[in-house]
Structure 1
Amino acid sequence: MSETKDTGDKTLHVASAKTLTLKRPVEQGVVRQSFSHGRTKQVVVEKVKTRVLGPGPAVKPAARVETPAAKPAAPPPQAPSSRNAPRTATTARAAQTPDPRNSAGVVLRTLTDREIEIRERALSDARGREEEERRQAEIDAKARAEREAQEKIEREAAEARKREEEQRRLQESEAKRRSEDEAKRRLDASGNPVPAAPPSAPSAALRRPAAEAATTTTTTTAAPAAAVARPVTKPAGDAEEEETKRIIRRPGMPIKVVLPPRPVRGSEQKNRGRLTVTSATAEEGERMRSEASFRRRQQRLQGKSFGQVKEKLAREVILPETITIQELANRMSERGVDVIKLLMKQGQMHKITDVIDADTAQLVAEELGHSVKRVAESDVEEGLFDTPGEDDHLVSRPPVVTIMGHVDHGKTSLLDAIRQANVVSGEAGGITQHIGAYQVVAPNGAPITFIDTPGHAAFTAMRARGAKVTDVVVLVVAADDGVMPQTIEAINHARAANVPIIVAINKIDKPDAKPERVRSELLQYEVQVESMGGETLEVEVSALKRTNLDKLLELIALQAELLDLKSNPDRPAEGTVIEARLDRGRGPVATVLVQRGTMRVGDIIVAGSQSGRVRALLDDKGANVTSAGPSFPVEVLGFAGAPDAGDRVAVVESEARAREITEYRERLKRDKAAARGAGAGRSLVEMMSQLKTAGLKEFPLVIKGDVQGSVEAIISALEKLNTDEVAARIVHAGVGGITESDIALAEASGAVMIGFNVRAHKEAREASERLGLEIRYYNIIYNLVDDVKAAMSGLLAPTLREDMLGNAQILEVFNISKVGKVAGCRVTDGRVERGANVRLIRDNVVVHEGKLSTLKRFKDEVKEVVVGQECGMAFENYQDMRAGDVIECYRVEEIKRSL
């Protein structure tokens, strides 16, 4: 305080005891803080206001505290420093600064150059920000003015259109009224004319708005011109609006200007309605019609009204056998509710997910005005076979010849002699048990396709398949044996297939051959050969001596020429599965006879419930071929599984179509199997049949064969052995070797495992040895059928036969203690044996049947008593014997039965 002349001291000193300081204004508030576990705490916070520097005059760097009694003292003169010779703003401001000391003795702090520079920079920044805000406000105001002007123009245009519409409507109503008045006037003029009445009040009221509307239109049209001509003057209320409007700035967002709410004009309250951009920025209180609304009105006036009933479209609805209500509604393009209502009117209560049959769906669709096309699930096979209209380019094809006849009449030997092969040596037992397809070149150079069928009675299905696919049947009859049962069956198959027959009388080289006997026996079955005046071709051949084989081929070629066999090789292939087997190395292999079209490698084929892509084609000699034309037998590799023999084969366009067909056929097969297993019928006849077969004994079998045809023949032969008491039940039948799963199935079902021309795999043999299950192997169908027949015969109940021994009459009944009643009898006929069966007859009525427990002669037990002797008899578990009853004695013998 003593050094008052030190100018370097920057501390503010006051003569009084209190020190004067400058503090920022402080605002206090209370904030509640939240902590974990629900704890809270009130905290007092202070907010220091920041001083905003405006564009006014420069703030003095220091304040002076003056007392009313003190007077300012004159500043002492200061000599300028030689270093600060040029006069700057800092020195000027320092020169203008009053003396820090006043009369009260208060020394004020002076600002340094650094602080003065910082304050000037802050002032210049503040001025720049204000300038930028002013420019942005001007841009926003200009954009708002343009937007308001555009909206005003749109509103005026909408008002003009509205007025035009109202004026046009008034004019139309006026014209209508005038036409009605004119019509009434003319009508009255024809009868009793009535003077024209003055216009009514409603008519005047209608005309008055029209005039007013015209005046309003003129005024409105002139108003924009006047508004353009007059200079735009800012009303007095806009100054208040500029003062009350707020400018909202957000980072990254455009500047938004919020206007204050407009006051209500007069006593009318604005009907705001829906808040839109147009209504929010509108100046008038009246709500105007939008352009979209005006456009919709124009459309209604032009006839495109929403209430106008549209013309209903009639559709063609495809209906399967069953369909859900939702799917039916979708196909008709109708609402599901309408379909349900229609069903309710018919008395049916349904949900939208319910399934209805095709008849009900057809009634609903026709009721709603649609046409119906009924389809079935089996329609997936439509167009698969025998497609018409594709046989345009027909060419000749080889004939298909099936050789048929009785077993051991030389069919395969004859075909081997023609083919110069030895197929017979590969057949077990010297009999043909497989169907084969071969192609031979005739002497004239034309190819001929032969199908060899077995002659055994069990292979009826094979002969039937051969007759279905053939063009000519060669009936082989042995000259030394004559017509046999399978010969007659072959004749019937040929007639059923409506194909010509060529009779080949074989074995004419034998000493006991009698060809004339064969010709005469064929007459019994309406087969008349040419030598006896008929039309059936015949030839005497010898397979062993190769006699007349050329003549047989010539007759076949002649018959084929008469038939004029033709086919189109350029269409997709169709054929029939002659035989199918499961090869362990190549998988499923099917022998297919192509009947129409050409089959190529890579084609997608379907046969029964199996499908696949052709991987390879092999001819009858085992050579690979790339294609097979009409009447060409080939082995096809590529099926997913072995098809059934006799299935028709077709080439389809895609795998999806093949999958669809096979899934349908597989589902159909499962349904049939389930129906057979469940015994779905509930009729009286079926119930009686079930009761009859309730005590049926079954002989379960698991059969595996080399080819499908052999398995089919075995099953057919075993089914013929079935009787009302015992039957063979085929648990499983298939082609291929015996696998471990087959052994497990036989063990689980208690069945006998049978292999025909196949062997068990190593794992299957080990499993059978472990389980103690015997596997029976066969290669001749005779032996298999005989063994199964003998085993099934063992299940038959033996036949009981009564052998009468004699009769005895009761003379007296004795009651012996500890023994019971004993009948004293005399043998009247035959003899009586101890332990034999007896019947007690009283008044010619059998009252008891049982066994004789005691037979005594005097006091000794005897084995038998002959006629004329007396004896004592006692029955097992029966005491009601009377004098005069007759005892009939007999023995029961069991006789074994066989199938």
Structure 2
Amino acid sequence: MSKVRIYTLAKDLGVENARMLEILDGLGVSYKSVSSTIEEDTVELIKQILAEEQAEGTSAEATAEPTVQAPAEQATPEQPAAAPVPQAKAAPVTDAQGDGGTSEVPHRAPVVTIMGHVDHGKTSLLDYIRKTKVAAKEAGGITQHVGAFEAKTSKGKIVFIDTPGHEAFTTIRARGANVADIAIIVIAADDSLMPQTREAIAHAQAAKVPMIVAINKVDLPQADPERVKTDLTQLNLVPEEYGGDLVVVPVSARTGEGVEDLLEYISLTAELEDLRADPRAAFGGVVIEGKVDKQAGVLATVMVQEGTLHVGDFLVVGENYGKIKAMTDSAGARIKEAGPSTPVQILGFSEVPSSGEKVQSAKNEHAAREVVAGRVDTRRDAENARVQRRLTLEEMMGPLGSVRTVNLILRADTQGSVEAIQGILARKESDDVKINVMLAGIGAPTEGDVLLASTAEATILCFSVTPSGGVKKVADSKGVDIKSFRIIYELIDEVDRLIKGNVEPVFEEKYLGRAEVRMVIRHPKSGNIAGSYVRDGSLKRNAKARVLRGKEVVYEGTIIGLKRFKDDVREVQTGFECGINIDWNDVMEGDIIEASEMVEVEQA
């Protein structure tokens, strides 16, 4: 029985890919990718459903009451009404001109980043796409490397971030900005998964962006794409051919084989993501990179994410601002404006902005200065607040009662050690705590590990390997914990401590002892002190206290002080006399003071 890909069928029937997935979902067949294939009988069923929908639409239009404005559109037996054309759901926005109307937010081009292991062909793939898909333009004005480029395809524009390497990708994300919509993981067909491949996948998963795997170098005699697909399943990434939802495309950056397929898959993924941006909205963007040019001065590459950028606009980045004196597109040509999903190089900043910093526009220089002044005040207030107060338990660990996740990055000396530790960790999970090993690899931790840990609030655990001084320095600067162990059970004990810190603690009250008040001593500074005799158990400083008068509890508070003669003590045992200071001055002779404390209950 023949099969057909979902997106091919959608194209043939004139239906949106998203609508096709909706129909399949209604049939109880769920697909995450439109590149998946379906059986011929399912195809016939889809055609039948669409035909019924079309017939219903025709019937509804034919029986609709005629209107004065358009009587000619009424259906007649001689001329039946036209069938409705399936349309994608529009995303309405208020008209920017303020006339109260609405219009559809247009789609924008996808922004793609390419990541993977060194020497697997990331740069070669970018170079091939740039060479074959970028229209040649005469470079005018500032002809500098923009850090991104636009590729023209049959499906529209695709923007590639020309900074291959997951460190750059994560550096941008570390500042709270997500630039890329889709991540391409490049894996060499003759090498399969390597340490940096696993790192790149972990970074893409942490960013929660769709992934497409490009198996490069398939033109080599020793290429083995099937091995790559099998190895991917070890990371719980199952290719579509194996029944999963991971799109895997064989390519050759040298010959161009499969590159058109890769571009089509990118466009299909972007269509499913329904990427939209309003060019009339307030401007918003992200810095991809910044540098100082000896001739031009400070240059910043900005990705426009919302709105439209114009020469002469004032921009605010962090606690600095500037005025756009000139803009250059990815081909080196001077431009006067740039809309969503457009990378531009900007001349006009006085200081070099950092990658990942968010950019916003201001009406004029005065407004820009006000925004900067407000940010400075906000930062100072936040710094002062951090000094003055402690974080609450909920702020440190998240809302109580929810499932907590302990994010870990694991580094060990051998693959055997990695697998053994992962096996033990898998048995440590519970209904309350999930252990998420974001990355597990052989060798000492890298700066890339630290960047990933800083964005995901992860702890780096090392077994029989130690980080370099440079990595330690970066970790300290970013507040990332790197912990090294030589004994595997010490590492597991550390994981237990992390788990314990992520489980809502359960406390119960434990009885300590009681004392009888035999006299009340009036003290000018400390207030009333109860001269007492400990009848059973013991009393401790800072313990909870209940004062009983007969059978009635007249007060509940805390023991703020204990004395034996003139000495302050922490605890007084049965049979000894002491002075008890509680935060209440109405204690009387004959009262009984009961002490208790809250202790954490061990949880299975």
TM-score of the pair, normalised by structure 2: 0.44
Q: Which structure carries more strand by proportion? A: 2
- Flag the structure with more relative contact order, 1 or 2, with Cα contacts below 8 A and sequence separation at least 6: 2
Structure with greater proportional helix content: 1
Larger Rg: 1
